[in-house]
Structure 1
Amino acid sequence: MTMDSPASTFNPNKRLKEEFVSNLKGASMMELFLLITTLSMLLFLRSVYSSTKKGPNSAEALSKKDDVIKAVVCKKNMGSYLAAATLDVLCIVFPAILCVTILADWTYINAVVMTLLVVFFILPRRSGFSVSQEEGARSLRTNISAYRVAMNFLTCVCILAVDFKIFPRRYAKTETYDGHWSRFVYCGKCIGFTTSTWNCKNVHVGEYGVHWNFFFTLAAVAILTSMINLPPSYCGILGWFILVVYEVSLLLGLNEYLISNERGHDIISQNKEGIFSIFGYWGMYLVCVQLGNYLFFGKPGDAVLRTNNWARIRVWIICLLFWLLTVFLDWHVERVSRRMCNLAYVTIVLAMNLQVFAVLTLADYVPGYKVAALIEFFDRNLLVSFLLANVLTGMVNLSMDTLSASPFVALAILVGYAYILSIAAAVAHFYGIRLKFW
């Protein structure tokens, strides 16, 4: 009996799944850019739809219905919560799943269509409308929540979708150079199918080594950050210094060591990618802290100003600069590599995240902007929702052979899975449940 017999008996398709998610090349930067744009605009269109409808739900009638709306909220009708979650699943989640599965080959066309729709919604209603400072402050907080929920929910969808053939392999995570769209940030990343089970070579070497899990990286970043006590405005200086030094080390030969298949018996050699990439992720985190402070906060006297046009314009400018920097680094310095978390990977992660937020800020130009109900539901329990998604993903993988599922069955499972997550979030919100683990 071979070493992998027990595992093979428990999961006969284990090796097929490992091969299914291994040796992937990723998508192009242009496709990533357009796909992110499309998915962001889906949420944007759903959020502004209620403000642009004619009749009693139009923007002009919202102010007249404040008392009625407050009364409905106080009544807390479970049916209305479930109906709102169902509607958002149909208008946001279902189209998003289609875009990353059966409509993936139409990404360029999808992006053009969505852009035209956004222009159609904004331009006719932009004339004579300006965002007040009070509305701008509320809008920025709303956009931040929408961004966080969007990243979390897309991650939840992808950790299951990646196990089906309906999900294009170019969108799944790669093990060397990365064109993987769904891993925007490590706090809301697509983990996909990972394993440390036995195979014919004794152990499966994952993307970060033999024993390493990405949660070890998160813990290391948290520990290193807690050891310093820098103001947010200085975190960026330290972060860029770490990233530059780390990138220079990679170019001087560290990158060849990290991507080589040779491993010693010591713990560092066996988990070299995971250990050394900590510097890249730590630098990224520090830069994000400084960027967030610069874009959304600042001096107390400027707090209101930085919640509307100030932040919106700079988000778009910085997003464009990071995309240009990514192209330059990828072409002339070193290819984007998630496995090493090099400088090009950091800049593309920042560019994609800022792109999502930038698209969401366009909703400020639509009168009567109203956030989607699904955003409010998930915003209360993001971590719990992510943990539930992982549990459901495990249940699906243990109960069926995802590789043999037909496109229709795969699509039905993904939509049902997303609907269960949405209903769970709606029920938790209805009962005022908010679970935290810190």
Structure 2
Amino acid sequence: MKFSKHFEASQASSMESFNPNRHLKEQFVSNLTGSSKLEIFIMVTNLSILVLIRRCIGFNWMSNGYPKKDDNVAGGGKSFKACVVVLLIDFLCIAVPYILYLTVLAEWTYWSTILVLLLLFCLKTFDRNGPSFLQEGGVDSIRENITSYRVSTMLVTCFSILAVDFKIFPRRYAKTETYGTSLMDLGVGSFVVANALVSRQARGITNMTLSNGLRSTSPLIILGFARLVSTSSVNYQIHVGEYGVHWNFFFTLAAVAILTLIINVHPRYCGVLGSFILIGYQALLLCGLNKYLLSEERKTDIFSQNKEGIFSIFGYWGMYLIGVRIGSYVFFGDNADAMSKTNKSARTRACALCMFFWSLTLLLDWYVEATSRRMCNMAYVSLILASNLQVLAIVMPFDCVPGCKSSAMEEAFSRNMLASFLLANVLTGVVNLSVDTLSVSSIAALAILFVYAFFLCFVVGIADFLGMRLKFW
């Protein structure tokens, strides 16, 4: 008996030694209220314009005589030196400014907007070969727009999940506790929408069987359990109010995918079904479900322990279905393998939908229920759709600028989206277990973030150069 108690005590002590400041780190990201929707709008604008500036600078794979990449050959005929040079330019033009905006330049967000707009205007003005914005883009340009949008969302998420653990990262950008809006609140929902816009359903491919669908979803379930086991084994900090005690983001993605498979409807009706789901879920929240989800009381059963993650599935499912309908409406035609929408048409629809969802967000937030990522209510869903469409609406008008193709880094992340996210999570965990993030200086924190971003971008970029793909389905 004494041996058993001694063993348990030593085991607890061993786990504590992995992450001695766990509770302090959990408190550091708790009870936050976020920032204003205007600041979110401006931040999304800034980060989107940085992608455009990188496009206008040029020097992509087709520059300086480097041959076009053949995806079937490792390296595609390009030299490794060219790969490193282009990745370095991408890193300096996109990753470095992203990190600066999230940290030391956070207090000058509005001035930064003016600066990047002037820079973009100058680059466009002095581009003597620049065509009119009214020029039509083809299928490739639409694909590049979607790539830029998805990768910019992924990069902000990857950088934020580590930056949030440092004091240099403004608390108003961290995830909110109950109600409110913040930059990091956009991450989970944006991942869902980004998948929905280019999903098989949005492209009109509805021939996947239930067994094949479940097989393709199984990696997400495995990753969810892997995250649960790994975080528990090293005593890693977990914000219980986000999803619950055992739930995590991968379980949410898997649940949304399974529900979509079971109730499989044509893309034309996904928006209607998603809207009904959200309206019904919002009605339940207003009838008292919101108080239950926001309360700190938890029973011992698995359902009560993970109430936030389980109930928010309905919000994310509705969000996904509406995202499928938007992807079908804006980008895809009836052909399952090609984009038949003209770029001008897609651009107009993206802008109109962006304005609609921003207006809807304000109305829902004021008159129905304040925005809550934790519950994934209607206001939050509308905010996610508005901010994602905003990125697309900003990027799309510049797809005809000469040399303005997706950068090497964007292409690399796009081809290995899930692998990039997994690598970012592993690196974030390694840094947190190796460094006391709460006590390092601002300069040290910035240096760590730059090294982390450099390693992440170059590993993903070189893996793409070598033709490495991590595909589960």
Same fold, TM-score > 0.5, yes or no: yes
Q: How does 1:127-142 map to 2 (within 5 A)?
A: 129=132, 133=136, 135-142=137-144
Tell me what 1:386 maps to. Answer: 421
Residue 321 of structure 2 aligns with which residue? 286
1:31 partnered with 2:39? yes
Cα pair 2:165 2:437 within 8 Å, conserved: yes
- Counterpart of 1:234 in structure 2 is 269
Structure-1 separation of matches of 2:168 and 2:371: 26
8 Å contact from structure 1 (residues 312, 361) kept in 2: yes
| Unaligned residue ranges in structure 1 (runs of 5+) | 52-56
The Cα shift of 1:40 comes to: 0.7
Give the structure 1 partner of residue 25 of structure 2: 17
Corresponding residue SS for 1:403 = coil
Which of 326, 331, 336 lines up with 1:296 in the alignment?
A: 331
Distance 1:285 1:185, change over 3 A: farther
Q: 2 CA distance for matches of 1:174 and 1:67?
A: 47
The Cα offsets for residues 269-296 of structure 1, whole Å up to 9 and x where unpaired, read as 2222111111101100001001100000
Structure 1 residue 380 displacement after superposition: 1.8
Deviation of 1:186 after TM superposition, in Å, equals: 2.6
Query: What is aligned with 1:98?
Result: 100
Name the SS of the counterpart of 1:70 in structure 2. Answer: coil
SS of aligned partner of 1:206: helix
| Cα distance in 2, alignment partners of residues 292 and 327 from structure 1 | 23
8 Å contact from structure 2 (residues 103, 170) kept in 1: yes
Residue in 2 that maps onto 1:107? 109
Alignment correspondent of 2:52 = 44
Aligned ranges 1:70-89 → 2 under 5 Å:
70=67, 75-89=77-91
CA distance in 1, matches of 2:131, 2:239: 61
CA contact (8 A) 1:131 1:364 kept: no
Following the alignment from structure 2 to structure 1, what is the Cα–Cα distance between the partners of residues 282 and 429? 37
Equivalent position amino acid for 1:176 in 2: T
Aligned pairs for 1:109-124 within 5 A: 109-122=111-124
1:115/1:238 CA distance change after superposition, 3 Å:
same
Indicate the SS of the match to 1:184: helix
Shift of 1:318: 0.7
Aligned to 2:145: 143
Deviation of the 1:139 alpha carbon: 0.9
Output the CA distance in 2 between the equivalents of 1:266 and 1:435. 36
Note closer, same or farther for the CA distance 1:107–1:204 as it changes in structure 2 (3 Å cut): closer
- Find the counterpart in structure 1 of residue 173 from structure 2: 171
Shift in Å, 1:129:
2.9
CA distance in 2, matches of 1:177, 1:216: 23
Query: Distance in 1 between the 2:330 and 2:78 partners?
Result: 36
TM-superposed deviation, 1:109:
0.7
- Residue 236 (structure 1) shift: 0.9
Structure 2 partner of 1:307: 342
Residues 329, 344 of structure 1: 8 Å contact kept: yes
2:56/2:404 contact within 8 Å kept: yes
Of residues 94-103 and 175-184 in structure 1, the stretch that sits farther from structure 2 once superposed is 175-184
Higher mean alpha-carbon deviation, 384-393 vs 369-378, is at 369-378
| CA distance in structure 2 between the aligned counterparts of 1:304 and 1:377, rounded to whole angstroms | 22
Equivalent in the alignment of 1:68:
65
Q: 2:255 aligns with which of 215, 220, 228?
A: 220
Secondary structure in 1 aligned to 2:242? coil
- Does structure 1 retain, via aligned residues, the 8 Å contact 2:47–2:98? yes
How far residue 18 of structure 1 moved from its aligned partner, in angstroms, is 0.9
* Displacement of 1:391: 1.2
Q: Deviations over 1:110-159 (max 9, x none)?
A: 112222333344467698636654x4322111111111111112211111
Q: Which amino acid aligns with 1:428?
A: A
Structure 1 residue 388, shift from structure 2 partner: 1.1
Q: Does 1:154 align with 2:189?
A: no
Once the 2 structures are TM-superposed, how far is the Cα of residue 237 of structure 1 from its aligned partner? 0.8
Name which of 393, 396, 399 aligns with 2:431. Answer: 396
Q: CA deviation at 1:7?
A: 4.0
Question: 2:413, 2:420 within 8 Å by CA — same for their partners in 1?
Answer: yes
Q: How many residues align?
A: 420
- Cα separation, partners in 2 of 1:234 and 1:424, compared to 1, 3 Å: same
| Distance apart, 1:182 and its partner CA | 2.8
Distance 1:204 1:394 in 2: 14
- Report the counterpart of residue 54 of structure 1 in structure 2: none
RMSD between aligned residues: 3.0
Aligned to 1:274: 309
- Report the counterpart of residue 8 of structure 1 in structure 2: 16
Counterpart CA distance in 2 for 1:255 and 1:75 is 56
> After alignment, is 35-44 or 216-225 more displaced?
216-225
Aligned with 2:285 (options 232, 250, 254):
250
Q: Distance in 1 between matches of 2:190 and 2:110?
A: 25
Aligned-pair CA distance for 1:75: 3.9
After superposition, the Cα gap between the structure-2 partners of 1:304 and 1:242, relative to the gap in structure 1 and judged at 3 Å, is: closer
Structure 2 Cα separation of the partners of residues 146 and 304 of structure 1? 17
Point out where structure 2 has 5 or more consecutive residues left out of the alignment: 70-74, 193-223
Give me the whole-angstrom Cα distance separating, in 2, the residues matched to 1:430 and 1:365: 26
CA distance in 2, matches of 1:356, 1:25: 24
CA 1:163 to 1:304, structure 2 compared with 1: closer, same or farther past 3 Å? closer
Checking the alignment, whether the CA contact within 8 Å between 2:49 and 2:394 is kept in structure 1 is yes
Q: Distance in 1 between matches of 2:231 and 2:431?
A: 19
Report the equivalent of 2:198.
Answer: none
Q: Deviations over 1:10-47 (max 9, x none)?
A: 32211110111111111110111101100110111111
- State the AA in 1 paired with 2:358: W
CA distance in 2 between counterparts of 1:373 and 1:87 reads 10
